Amino acid sequence: MSEKSKDYMREQEAQVEKEQEQKDRDYKKEYEQAVAENQELKEQLLRKAAEFDNFRKRVQAEKEEIHDITIAHIIEKILPFLDELDLVIEKSREEQDFQSLLQGVEMVQKNVFKILTGLGLKPMDSVGEPFDPEKHHAMMQQEADDAEPDTVVNELKKGYMVNDRVVRHAEVIVSK
């Protein structure tokens, strides 16, 4: 090989080496950028996770506060009935009068029902209706000549709903 060929080969090798060094620098720069971006994304993820955890804790605290306020509101509504019952008991002891006791208890019942209906409570009418497991709890079955099968023929305990949601199933007797 001639000297000229060797020089040309050296130049080509130097050129390839220079290009490789440039590629290596470019790869290193891209790698460093990717590492920095990865670190930034990790930090963002940690911040979002912390924000979500704080949000979750705040919502839980708000739920607990709403629960406490609701309980206090219900107790506030019930306390007058305790006062009325105390008065009925006291009067009944003094007068030894069953009729007064009965009237007092009926008055308390009427007032409790008035407050509960004001909160959205609605009694369910079950007798004569087809048995519905979403609303009724069958306590037993009995023969009934005047009713279709699977019809509620007697109500042992009244069922109630609030805003179309059953809060207590009616306990019923169902025809066979």
DSSP state of 164: T
Domain identity same for 49 and 93: yes
Domain identity same for 28 and 101: yes
Query: CA-to-CA distance for 54 and 84, rounded, in angstroms?
Result: 46
Query: CA-to-CA distance for 174 and 158, rounded, in angstroms?
Result: 14
CATH of the domain at 57: 3.90.20
> pLDDT tens for residues 48-61?
999 999 999 999 99
Domain of 17, in residue numbers:
1-119
Domain identity same for 157 and 169: yes
Domain stop point among 76, 91, 119: 119
Query: CA-to-CA distance for 9 and 152, rounded, in angstroms?
Result: 104
Domain identity same for 27 and 93: yes
pLDDT band at 89 (very low <50, low <70, confident <90, very high): confident
Domain identity same for 105 and 132: no
Query: CA-to-CA distance for 117 and 109, rounded, in angstroms?
Result: 12
Reported pTM: 0.58
Domain identity same for 7 and 83: yes
Q: Are 121 and 167 within 8 A, CB to CB? A: yes
- Looking at residue 55, its pLDDT comes to 97
Phi and psi, residue 2, nearest 5°: -80, 165
